[in-house]
Structure 1
Amino acid sequence: MISGCNENTHSGTPYDHTSSLTAIRDRDFLHGISPEASGQLVNTVIEIPAGSNAKWEVNKETGHLEWEVRGDSLRVIRYLPYPANYGMVPQSLMPASEGGDDDPLDVFVLGPRAKTGSIIRTRVIGVLYMKDDGEQDDKLIAVDTDSWFGNIETLEALNANFPGITNILSTWLANYKGPGADVELMGTGDEAEAAAILARGISAYRIVREQ
């Protein structure tokens, strides 16, 4: 009988706050990096590499990348590993005033496995609409422009040339927290809808920083 397979299960590895293996503190990944890359490309900070189960995230106070801690243990996803690189757009947030969680915009980046802390130039091509515990927690879909996905510019092109990817991402998101989790997937949006979410997220961040 399998029990306890939900987001609150841990690796059992005690957290050591002094270890360089549990945090990257050499720069401010949230506030110190521009969201805009060259042209209409977007800088994306990779928190979790494709194929990893370790739950890293940016610390909103320091901007450092840290392996998330639950209780006294490092958090590990007890499901299939992340199906794509996962990260966030620096200097952005999903504002609570619009039902969001006030966290940076989340992004799945399609391309080769990247290291935690990598900054990748990406093209945003779509969005997975999602609610987590009642809060809007949409996931942008982007491509690594230096990869074999580099010529993909629309969600339609992704689905035509790489069928099944959006279904894989949706299925993973719906199940990675385990049975009973309050996760609701509400379909996909195209590149125009994703661009609008991105623009609002960057604008919301700037408004908060100016207050």
Structure 2
Amino acid sequence: MKDIYTIPTFSKNGALHCVIEIPGGTNKKIEFNAETKTFEIDQRNGTDRIIPFLPYPANYGFIPSTLSDRSLGGDGDALDILLISEALPTGTIVEAIPIGILKLLDKGEYDYKIICVPRDTKKRIINVTTYTQFLKKYRKAKDIIESWFLHYDTDGDALISEGWGDEKEALEEINKSLNH
């Protein structure tokens, strides 16, 4: 498999590339292993990590060629995304539009989630392209997403929410996280 981390952050038409690790509606915590270049179920205490909670509310993954810099308070991983669309297979690369950012802290490290919709209107299940539209049309979905992230890890430390930001804040965080 091609090294996913070499895929550019943005496509030629300016859309955001998103790599899907975990299809929406599943409970397996799947992650891309950069060394083996494969997608694997995450391990916790030597066993497959299956989330003992409601399944992922949307497709979860990362933005290639980004890094949440530890020296700036990040978690040292690629920037996380939550793509609101029908379930997509692990390994799918999607062009997306960021509509917001959920700002979470995980043990004192930033663990921000960029909330996106597919660029292709035929693949969208919600018809929004901005945070304002998302709030106006889908405020309860926003609340569900935040609540899910705050409560899904019943075996780990609770995440802390520092609120939300709009698509401009999401793009600022993406640009700050670009590998140079």
Task: Give aligned-pair identity as a percent.
Answer: 34
**Aligned counterpart, 1:30:** 5
Distance in 1 (CA, whole Å) between partners of 2:107 and 2:172 is 23
* C-alpha distance after superposition, 1:119-148 (max 9, x if no partner): 011001110000011111000001012223
Root-mean-square deviation (CA, aligned residues, Å) is: 1.7
State yes or no: 1:111 paired with 2:75.
Answer: no
Aligned to 1:160: 136
Measure how far apart 1:196 and its partner are. 0.2
Distance in 2, Cα, partners of 1:177 & 1:132:
11
Separation in 2, partners of 1:40, 1:152: 18
Quick check: 1:87 aligned with 2:33? no
**Distance change >3 Å, CA 179–CA 70, structure 1 → 2:** closer
Q: Structure 2 counterpart of 1:71, which letter?
A: N
Cα pair 2:84 2:126 within 8 Å, conserved: no
Deviates more, 1:148-157 or 1:167-176: 148-157
Aligned with residue 173 of structure 2, among 181, 184, 197: 197
Cα deviations across residues 135-178 of structure 1 (Å, max 9, x unaligned)?
11000001012223575221111122233111111000000012
Instruction: Specify the code of the residue in structure 1 equivalent to 2:11.
Output: A
CA contact 2:27–2:56 (8 Å) conserved in 1: yes
* Rg comparison, structure with higher value: 1
**In structure 2, C-alpha distance between the alignment counterparts of 1:109 and 1:197, rounded to whole Å:** 17
Instruction: Identify the residue that residue 186 of structure 1 maps to in structure 2.
Output: 162
Choose 93-102 or 145-154, whichever is displaced more.
Answer: 145-154
- Using the size of structure 1 for normalisation, the TM-score is 0.79
Which residue of the other structure, out of 100, 112, 123, is the alignment partner of 1:126? 100
Letter in 2 for 1:28: D
Q: What's the offset of the Cα at 1:72?
A: 3.2
| 1:154-209 deviation per Cα after TM superposition (whole angstroms, max 9, x unaligned) | 1111122233111111000000012772410111000110000000111xx22xxx
TM-score norm. by structure 2 comes to: 0.92
Partner of 2:29: 55
Question: Runs of 4 or more off by more than 6 Å in structure 1?
Answer: none
Q: Which amino acid aligns with 1:185?
A: S
